[in-house]
Amino acid sequence: MNLIAWPLIVSLLSGALCLALWSLPTWQRRIGLVGSGANLIIALLLFQRVWGDGVQVLHIANWHAPFGISLVADTLSAVMVLMTATMGLSVHFYSWFCMDRDMEKYGFHALFHFLLMGVYSSFLTGDIFNLYVSFEIMLIASFVLLALGNRRAQIEGALKYMALNLFGSFLFLGGAGILYGIVGSLNMADVAVKLSTVDNPSLTTSLALIFLIAFGLKAAVFPFFSWLPASYHTPPSAVSAIFAALLTKVGVYSLMRFFSLIFVQNQEFTHEIIATVGLLGMFFGVLGAMSKNELRRILSFHSISQIGYMVFAFALMTPLSVAGAIFYMIHHSIVKSNLFLISGTIHRAFGSYHLNRIGGLYRSHPLLSAVFLISALSLAGLPPLSGFFSKVFLVKASFVVDRPGAVFIMLLVGMFTLISMTKIFDKGFWRPLSPEHKPVPLDESKAAYVGMMLPIVFLSGLTLAMGLFAPYVFEVFLRAAEELIEPTQYLQRVLGGVD
């Protein structure tokens, strides 16, 4: 049995069932969680299959490539699906204990699964137009999730998020149309083969730039990031956490896929641009983060800086650097989403995300302090956590291609990240709460606190494990990177018609 379509089917079914049980929020919650759990099992099986047999292909309705829509899972896709399923289950479990009952009533669980369906489908599709449709599924679900709850800040955030992302979608759609006009195909593998024979560098390069802007907008790459800090701090923290884990990663993944498979003709130009915006994003993102005093705003700005690392490393296009970029992507999903979950727990205890209105957590919540410290230090890149190794690979890769300036910026940004994390730890955890700010706890039940801590501790353990077993994990990413740079197996399996 071919497993590729199952993550999509399970999310679609769970989402639809949740909609059908509109008036029974408790059942929605149960079905939602069962669906997320089932997807994790499927993702593990899919990964095992891909690891054993190589690239998996499913031609939908048996219309062979390039005529039908193909779903393709290579190592990178399988890793991303596994990451999505893990984050989906963790965040869904967390939301069980803290989600507003009103939001659950208005379809939180259904939207969550539709969002995941869009993400899975983006990671697994081998068709450009299908990728556009997946983006739209994901976007619509995320718009509603962002605005659900109807607070003023959420509406403001949703407007900005929507405006820029929709513009990106239309650019992508237009680009897909022009690409179809050039090569007459939409299957990624087929387009890659046919575009390599097109001898019109100015056309292909400008088309590549359209796609670069479209994916750059989704991934919050340097000049296009303004929607991210304007919106990520507004929804409930479970929603922020799943956004931080997945949405920008879909943009980075698509960028990697397109610029390693399709647009590889003019690398000195296109990949140099990607590297430059990566470095700029790294630097300006962290500067933005240092100027903020609200937990989730700080975290959002750090996302921009971390996305910079990923796209920069990818743009170097050596197996080591691309594997480093993938390592960074997985590490960042786990850690950043965990930090958002932790900030949600803090918000629950103090009724605020602002650093001046929280304090003394080190004394009152020792376990929370420990897991925050693990995630924060991992984000900054201290050994033996996953953030350290992702930076080690990137630094090494940059030295190999002789870019010492980039290494300098990376390490400088790492230090700034550490400073910014220290600021949170100092103000929120060590310093006692100043007497003029009374905490307004939202909910003080012990059981809910324990329930919320479970996924947080699990994710902290994951970043620790990724650091401790870095060589083994890296081996997986190295294979994914080699498949990206030399996509012969991908092309063969998709176009060869051999299942």
Partner 1 sequence: MQTTLALLSGVVFACGVFLLLRRNMVKFVFGLALISQAVNMAIFTAGGLVRHKAPLIAPDQDTLALGAADPLPQAMILTAIVIGFGILAFTIVLILRTYEVFGNVDIDEVRAVDR
Q: Residue 301 or residue 425: which is nearer to partner 1 going by CB?
A: 301
Cα dist from 166 to 49, 144, 162, 279, whole Å: 36, 14, 6, 26
In eight-state DSSP terms, residue 354 is B
Tokens at 87, concatenated:
């984050």
Please give the structure tokens belonging to residue 73. 């899972």
Q: Which stretch binds partner 1 (CB under 8 A): 12-20, 36-44, 145-153, 410-418?
A: 145-153
CB half-sphere exposure, 248, CA atoms < 13 A: 36
440: burial class by Cβ within 10 Å (0-12, 13-18, 19+)?
Answer: exposed
Closest to partner 1 by CB, 144 or 392: 144
- The stretch among 104-112, 149-157, 413-421, 473-481 that binds partner 1 (CB under 8 A) is 149-157
Q: Quick one: 205 or 492, whose CB is closer to partner 1?
A: 205
**Does 287 interact with partner 1 (rule: CB under 8 A)?**
no
**Of the candidates 24, 155, 419, 440, which one interacts with partner 1 according to CB under 8 A?**
155
Count Cα neighbours of 12 within 13 Å in the Cβ-side half-sphere: 10
Give residue 142's Cα distance to chain centre. Answer: 13
Q: Is 144 in the site for partner 1 (CB under 8 A)?
A: yes
Judged by DSSP in three states, 46 sits in helix
The minimum distance between CB 220 and partner 1, in angstroms, equals: 19
3 state DSSP class of 21: coil
Q: Is residue 143 a contact point for partner 1 (CB under 8 A)?
A: yes
Nearer to partner 1, 68 or 451 (CB): 68
Shortest CA distance to 217 belongs to which of 178, 175, 189, 188?
175
Tokens of 361: 């957590």
| Binding-site string for partner 1 from residue 230 to residue 269, where x marks contact by CB under 8 A and - marks none | ----x-----------------------------------
Q: How far apart are CA 298 and CA 348, in angstroms?
A: 18
Stretch that binds partner 1, among 152-160, 430-438, 440-448, 478-486 (CB under 8 A): 152-160
- Could you say which of 136, 360, 418, 464 contacts partner 1 (CB under 8 A)? 136
Number of residues that bind partner 1 (CB under 8 A): 36
Task: Read off the tokens for 222.
Answer: 């340097």
Residues 167-196 close enough to bind partner 1 by CB under 8 A: 167, 169-170, 173-174, 176-178, 180-182, 184, 186
For 47, 73, 325, 389, 477, the CA distances from 472, given in Å and listed in that order, are 15, 21, 16, 12, 9
Side-chain-facing half-sphere of 443: CA atoms under 13 Å: 15
- Whether the CB-CB separation of 332 and 300 falls below 8 Å is answered with no
Q: Which of 31, 69, 158, 250 binds partner 1 (CB under 8 A)?
A: 158
Q: Which is nearer to partner 1, 162 or 470 (CB)?
A: 162
Stretch that binds partner 1, among 25-33, 130-138, 267-275, 310-318 (CB under 8 A): 130-138
Nearest approach, Cβ of 349 to partner 1 (angstroms)? Answer: 18
Q: Which residues bind partner 1 (CB under 8 A)?
A: 129, 132-133, 136, 139-140, 143-144, 147, 150-153, 155-159, 162-163, 166-167, 169-170, 173-174, 176-178, 180-182, 184, 186, 234, 294
